[in-house]
Amino acid sequence: MPTILGQNQYGKAENRVVKITRDGDTHHIKDLNVSVALSGELDEVHYSGSNANVLPTDTTKNTVFAFAKEHGIESAEAFGILLARHFVDSCAPIHRARIRIEEYSWERIATSDANSQFIGADEVQHSFVRKGQEIRTAQITYDGEGIQVLSGLKGLTVLNSTNSEFWGYIKDRYTTLPEDYDRILATEVASVWRHNVTGAEGERMPNWEKSYAQAKKNMLHAFAETYSLSLQQTLYQMGVRVINARPEIDEIRFSMPNKHHFKVDLAPFGMKNEAADGAVYYAADRPYGLIEATVLRDGAEALIPVDMTNL
Amino acid sequence: MPTILGQNQYGKAENRVVKITRDGDTHHIKDLNVSVALSGELDEVHYSGSNANVLPTDTTKNTVFAFAKEHGIESAEAFGILLARHFVDSCAPIHRARIRIEEYSWERIATSDANSQFIGADEVQHSFVRKGQEIRTAQITYDGEGIQVLSGLKGLTVLNSTNSEFWGYIKDRYTTLPEDYDRILATEVASVWRHNVTGAEGERMPNWEKSYAQAKKNMLHAFAETYSLSLQQTLYQMGVRVINARPEIDEIRFSMPNKHHFKVDLAPFGMKNEAADGAVYYAADRPYGLIEATVLRDGAEALIPVDMTNL
Amino acid sequence: MPTILGQNQYGKAENRVVKITRDGDTHHIKDLNVSVALSGELDEVHYSGSNANVLPTDTTKNTVFAFAKEHGIESAEAFGILLARHFVDSCAPIHRARIRIEEYSWERIATSDANSQFIGADEVQHSFVRKGQEIRTAQITYDGEGIQVLSGLKGLTVLNSTNSEFWGYIKDRYTTLPEDYDRILATEVASVWRHNVTGAEGERMPNWEKSYAQAKKNMLHAFAETYSLSLQQTLYQMGVRVINARPEIDEIRFSMPNKHHFKVDLAPFGMKNEAADGAVYYAADRPYGLIEATVLRDGAEALIPVDMTNL
Amino acid sequence: MPTILGQNQYGKAENRVVKITRDGDTHHIKDLNVSVALSGELDEVHYSGSNANVLPTDTTKNTVFAFAKEHGIESAEAFGILLARHFVDSCAPIHRARIRIEEYSWERIATSDANSQFIGADEVQHSFVRKGQEIRTAQITYDGEGIQVLSGLKGLTVLNSTNSEFWGYIKDRYTTLPEDYDRILATEVASVWRHNVTGAEGERMPNWEKSYAQAKKNMLHAFAETYSLSLQQTLYQMGVRVINARPEIDEIRFSMPNKHHFKVDLAPFGMKNEAADGAVYYAADRPYGLIEATVLRDGAEALIPVDMTNL
């Protein structure tokens, strides 16, 4: 046979699991999208169609829902670790499991003490509105020995309306861009970071919820506080800030489109449009600069895959 | 000629205009997507291709950007009124202008006083993160005499994890749904409401920003505080609350998909999954119930179009 | 009570029903997305939450699937008529049903007689590839007496690389657009047309499949063959052609974004970029001109709603 | 400094370039979305914000458009090779260029000889309708020495209405899926394949257009002609067929969601719904099985990255 099988994996993607926890009248919600990918002794299902080594994707789906009930969902990372270990440890032909999770955040609807006609209205603790800001992500991989935990976020759109310049670049035959000493800098942050945990017995895990909140906060602060000469410089400072602030994180990668805001030329209408006076901008869709880079704790190994987009 | 021209309109859609206002080092941002639709004496452009009565869509785009600089953007509604009046009043063949606006909200990045190495870091007032919760909408129509102002929102996803029941419905040959006395009620609210303004000279306009914030707040409170026997009942209470709280609003329409959260059947695994104990749900995509209705102040005319979706 | 209920409707949206018909080894496929909206005596479900007059949306879903088996799916229109009649005629509180359908087309995979190692391979008649060109639509409304049938399509993207001009338009203070005597004309056609059927007993229905194919074909021909001085002129010719060719169609509405293809300015690089020589264009996303109009058979009533977009 | 910079790249993404070629009255169209990513001596732009080694992303955009005019667009692959070589060979700090391209196909509108009132109508050769079936992709990487060329497609949705079974799989505590001996098999194919070209001087390149058409055709035939016991088996046969048929291709990877079509349970309505009689199916959205694998010519190296989705 002149062809052979290479890397392969399978599983159920996008299991939309919602877990409510009731603490008296106070409810809590976890809202996840869980994708399972399994690898192992799976040559025959490709070669002959024998499913003897195949745990059906439908079963992996059932497991996600059953585990949410049995174990609750403390955090995306902790839930992913449980699932990844389960598939490899309980199913002999499966040697590696990768769990990818998206998490959607909700905040409580702060009900009204002013609406006195609604007795007890201010005590409602089971009503939520989706935050909608960024999507939190996690990826847990387990190969029967160690685990790797990546956390991340996507869709976090930020904008500085000043303190950004762009000049001093290479000019070749095809360069027409004028230098700019006061521009808008805006991007939609996608980021993945790697925790230095190994899954060794007795290892103490980070507080995943706090770690995430702090990583996001540091990223936002660095974005706001960096006087930027290039989006790359801002990106790097965001990575530095996260790694300096969080000892549990060794590596972080960003994919940041430069969401161009072009100053509109109003000269034909006899009008000035200077940044210093508060300008009007056209928010462009495509094309856009796309800036991608990894920042590492000195000595750490680069393990996060390079591709965060298909573009 | 056996065919004739019916209703028609044209203009530039989706002008993505961002206006920064500088108040010293404190910046403000307005981020809109403005669509223009004009009607009038436009038969000939359809019949013969004569553009003699056509203000180019490119000009309507330029006008949006120039107006943002000349007049600023106080609110989506105020900006839309300016634009609608301009097109009809300044261009003889145009008899009617409809401006539709989407607005994207931003909040300030609360920078860090704790990062003492960044001198003055806590004073950054030009950094923003997109809120991402709902999209605010406005539609202003002007026909040379009166104006109509619709405000609205879309993409506001809410969920009650209890206080929702569904029973006592019609059972026919095709009914299999079991009654439920403790279910999740979740929806993605899209809503449009009509202000009782006319555009008459000297008329006092609402405070559009405050009106919007209060309409949203009342909607959320009613959602949270209604013990629900049907999504229709919740919808109606949301409308009642807005109209009672806001004298400037006479009519409100909602389009609310019932975002089904089905309790997962864990019995095959020997597990119970009761709402009262904190259940696990499967968040379904399609199909979904779609509930649509208008609520009116008694005596008000129904003027909001029925179709808010194509489904 | 100072508020009252206005127009309202409910039902299950986006039922994704696929029906396979087997004719020996030759299979046929119908792939629909069916949305149901019912109206009637539904005040109480809004006012008090009583579901006594409510046929559950879940039941409407079941009905869609059961009808696909019982009656087959001859065409989207015929299927929609069956469903609409059923809900109104079989459920007393329901006075009006509106069925909206999207249809996805498939074509057969033309298998290979050249692959002689696969015996009988060229006879495979159960393999399909989704066409992916346009989405076909239908809307059937029944109020217990008459029916209204709208057919349509969306997502049909067309382009003429010449025979399009734009000049002779109004120039005001905000006009900067240069006239163009040889431009690309491109649009993504969305269209809805109304059949002059009433649902009267014994009425002969159109051949829905043929009617659709011919409407699309005439639309495409008119687009290709019209020397265009404005997108409005092209739109009108498309409507005229459909109405002239199809006696069963009395009214047609189009929503056609002007998908701008801007000639790139290559002068800074010492290059010409003329349409006559075969130019390079930048395909823009936003903003875009949006042209909307109805064409009617003389004497026909305009019944298709104006809004085909929210922009 | 406790942090260091890892892999990084930048460039302009999603340049939407359309090139018309005129051959008398017969026009040809190429419609691409081109993304540029450059790497090299770029540490300083991250560390200090110095842009001394940065060719602006705006310049890379200009280059795409200028090259389309200067060189035409023979194929996505040939155009990408030109661009990749240019950036590395002409700009000293740039050591590696990766060009990713999406291509949208168009077909001619076959105009009407029957419409005799339109003289010459049947000769229109400048009118196109977008095919809309799959999106063609290409990725060209050049590091100053060799090139790597990947071709591919995405969004190709296929369905077999029989000749698919699924049984004989592992049953664990969480397995509830019944075996199925006659199911629908449907998927949306995404595939990337690698050509065994190196970019060596004098090397003869494949006919990229023909190679693509044949790869797609073989993939479709294998899908149709494989009696399937698992989606993995079908996937593998598709890879085998492409590699056997195309000597220029050494490696191919697929990402194929199992687009579940579940037979609807009509028993509650007293109806049977058997595949053999032509069944009614519910086309599910999420979750879905996701099957991914690489097929290699024996002896070839696996170089296509594993991740084709983020799920």
Q: What is the pLDDT of residues D191-230, one digit of tens each?
A: 999 999 999 999 999 999 999 999 999 999 999 999 999 9
Name the residue facing A69 among B16, B220, B271 (closest C-beta).
B271
DSSP state of C145: S
Rounded CA gap, D277 and A142, in Å? 45
Chain B residues inside the 8 Å CB shell of C243: 2-3
Instruction: Identify the residue with better confidence: C72 or A120.
Output: C72
Residues with Cβ within 8 Å of residue B92, at least 6 apart in sequence: none
pLDDT of residue A110: 84
Confidence of residue C28 (pLDDT cuts 50, 70, 90): very high
Residue A264 CA, distance from chain mean position = 33
Beta bridge partners of C85: none
Hey, are the CB atoms on C1 and B298 less than 8 Å from each other? yes
Hey, are the CB atoms on B230 and C293 less than 8 Å from each other? no
Asked if residue D166 belongs to a known ligand binding site, the reply is: yes
CATH of C1-145, picked from 3.20.20.150, 3.90.1150.10, 3.20.20.70, 3.10.270.10, is 3.10.270.10
User: Minimum mean pLDDT among A109-113, C149-153, D111-115: which range?
Assistant: D111-115
Distances (CA, A) of D128 to B30, C161, C185, D211: 40, 8, 11, 23
Rounded CA gap, A61 and A11, in Å? 8
Chain D residues inside the 8 Å CB shell of A218: none
DSSP E strands, chain C: 3-13, 15-23, 26-40, 94-103, 106-108, 127-130, 135-142, 147-160, 185-195, 249-258, 261-263, 280-283, 288-297
- Residues A291 and D1: beta-carbon distance below 8 Å: no
- Residues C60 and C36: beta-carbon distance below 8 Å: yes
Hey, are the CB atoms on C128 and D158 less than 8 Å from each other? yes
Count how many Cα atoms sit within 13 Å of the Cα of residue B66 in the half-sphere of its side chain: 19
Predicted confidence (pLDDT) per residue in C296-310, tens digit: 999 999 999 999 999
Predicted confidence (pLDDT) per residue in C212-263, tens digit: 999 999 999 999 999 999 999 999 999 999 999 999 999 999 999 999 999 9
Q: Same fold for the domain at B1-145 and the one at B154-311?
A: yes
pLDDT of residue A116: 44
Burial of B121: CB neighbours in 10 Å, binned 0-12, 13-18, 19+: middle
Query: Is a pLDDT exceeding 90 seen at residue C204?
Result: yes
Predicted confidence (pLDDT) per residue in D22-51, tens digit: 999 999 999 999 999 999 999 999 999 999
Backbone φ and ψ for D3, nearest 5 degrees, come out as: -125, 150
Residues with Cβ within 8 Å of residue B222, at least 6 apart in sequence: B234, B237, B238, B240, B241, B242
Asked if residue C8 belongs to a known ligand binding site, the reply is: no
Confidence of residue A109 (pLDDT cuts 50, 70, 90): very high
H/E stretch holding A17: strand A15-23
Query: Is a pLDDT exceeding 60 seen at residue B15?
Result: yes
- The region that residue D163 occupies, defined by phi over 0 for left and psi between -120 and 50 for alpha, beta otherwise, is left
- What ipTM was reported for this prediction? 0.96
pLDDT of residue B113: 56
Rounded CA gap, B34 and B54, in Å? 19
Confidence of residue B117 (pLDDT cuts 50, 70, 90): low
* Range 102-161 of C in CB contact (< 8 A) with D: 106, 109, 111-112, 115, 118, 121, 124, 126-134, 155-161
Query: Is a pLDDT exceeding 90 seen at residue D10?
Result: yes
Alpha helix (H) ranges present in B151-309?
A: 208-225, 231-245
pLDDT of residue A217: 98
Residue D5 CA, distance from chain mean position = 31
- What value does the mean pLDDT take over residues D225-253? 98
Burial of B110: CB neighbours in 10 Å, binned 0-12, 13-18, 19+: middle
Q: What percent of chain B has pLDDT over 70?
A: 96
Confidence (pTM): 0.97
Q: Which residue in chain A is spatially nearest to D14 when comparing CA positions?
A: A287
Query: Is a pLDDT exceeding 90 seen at residue D63?
Result: yes
Name the residue facing D285 among B176, B269, B286 (closest C-beta).
B286
Rounded to 10°, the helix C57-71/C76-90 angle is: 130
Q: Where are the domains of chain D?
A: 1-145, 154-311
Annotation says A46 is catalytic: no
pLDDT of residue D233: 98
Name the residue facing C132 among D132, D159, D223 (closest C-beta).
D132
- What value does the mean pLDDT take over residues A232-260? 98
Rounded CA gap, B240 and B221, in Å? 12
Name the residue facing A269 among C173, C285, C286 (closest C-beta).
C173
Round the average pLDDT of chain D to a whole number and report it: 96
Chosen from C26, C64, C65 to mutate, greatest number of chain D CBs within 10 A: C65
Chain A residues inside the 8 Å CB shell of D174: 59, 62-63, 66
Residue type, B202: G
Q: Which of D86, D106, D192 shows the shortest CA–CA distance to D149? A: D192
Annotation says B234 is catalytic: no
pLDDT of residue B124: 87
pLDDT of residue D111: 81
- Residues A224 and A161: beta-carbon distance below 8 Å: no
- The region that residue C11 occupies, defined by phi over 0 for left and psi between -120 and 50 for alpha, beta otherwise, is left
Beta bridge partners of C103: C32, C136
* Range 248-267 of C in CB contact (< 8 A) with D: 261, 264, 266
A72 shares contact with chain D (CB less than 8 Å)? no
Beta bridge partners of D244: none
Backbone φ and ψ for C19, nearest 5 degrees, come out as: -115, 125
pLDDT of residue D116: 44
Instruction: Identify the residue with better confidence: B311 or C60.
Output: C60
Asked if residue D26 belongs to a known ligand binding site, the reply is: no
User: Active-site positions of C?
Assistant: 12, 57, 260
Tell me how crowded residue D137 is: count the other CB atoms within 10 A of its CB: 22
Distances (CA, A) of B21 to A240, A259, B69, B74: 31, 19, 10, 10
Q: Select which of B12, B30, B61, B259 is catalytic.
A: B12
Residues with Cβ within 8 Å of residue A87, at least 6 apart in sequence: A36, A38, A55, A60, A63, A94, A97
- What value does the mean pLDDT take over residues D78-107? 98
- What value does the mean pLDDT take over residues D82-101? 98
- Residues D283 and D173: beta-carbon distance below 8 Å: no
Query: Is a pLDDT exceeding 60 seen at residue B160?
Result: yes
Query: Is a pLDDT exceeding 60 seen at residue D65?
Result: yes
Predicted confidence (pLDDT) per residue in B34-87, tens digit: 999 999 999 999 999 999 999 999 999 999 999 999 999 999 999 999 999 999
Chosen from A99, A170, A234 to mutate, greatest number of chain D CBs within 10 A: A170
Beta bridge partners of A191: A153, A254
Query: Is a pLDDT exceeding 50 seen at residue B275?
Result: yes
CATH number of C154-311: 3.10.270.10
Residue type, A59: T
Query: Is a pLDDT exceeding 50 seen at residue C116?
Result: no
- Residues A157 and B130: beta-carbon distance below 8 Å: yes
pLDDT of residue D124: 87
Query: Is a pLDDT exceeding 50 seen at residue D78?
Result: yes
- What value does the mean pLDDT take over residues A76-90? 98
Rounded CA gap, C138 and C149, in Å? 7
Burial C183-207 (b: 16+ CB within 10 A, else e): bbbbbbbbbbbbbebebeeeeebbe
pLDDT of residue D234: 98
Predicted confidence (pLDDT) per residue in B213-267, tens digit: 999 999 999 999 999 999 999 999 999 999 999 999 999 999 999 999 999 999 9
Query: Is a pLDDT exceeding 70 seen at residue A115?
Result: no
pLDDT of residue C124: 87
D57 shares contact with chain A (CB less than 8 Å)? yes
Residues with Cβ within 8 Å of residue B38, at least 6 apart in sequence: B9, B10, B11, B55, B60, B87, B91, B94, B96, B97, B98
Q: Which of C17, C87, C18, C14 shows the shortest CA–CA distance to C56? A: C87
Q: Which of C136, C233, C111, C273 shows the shortest CA–CA distance to C193? A: C136
Rounded CA gap, A287 and A291, in Å? 13
